[in-house]
Amino acid sequence: MSRILTAEEFLTLVLAKLKLMANRDFVLETAVIDRRFEAAYEWLSNREAEFNIVSNFTFRRDPLYGVTATFRDALLSLRERRLIQPDPSKRAYRLSLSMQLAENYMKHSVLAPEALCELVHDTFPEVAEAISA
């Protein structure tokens, strides 16, 4: 039986993997965050059968307004849980979860760490560049 993956869980796992891979303070710029997670969602939806999961959300952007309500609600939940914090000086969100918490999320992930690593490489190129440098 397939496992259900929620929007909040997906965002949490991606951000935890970003924290572990970036090895530095990572900032998500608000100007591109919706496009990045739309691409991450597309990556996931193309591989659901491979990972034996079913996502119960979509992050497809509205052409007029940008970010989806589902994504915005999940992002707000992460702010409330203090996994991300707004950085008004850069119009961005700063990852504020600890390395230990990120590792804990990976231990309980419905997605394999290797899969999340591939997703981050594909949808967050600045992290991939920092790792290979």
| Identity of residue 23 | N
Which tens digit of pLDDT belongs to each residue from 47-70?
999 999 999 998 877 777 776 788
Over its C-alpha atoms, the chain yields an Rg (Å, rounded) of 14
pTM of the model: 0.89
Model confidence at 127: pLDDT above 70: no
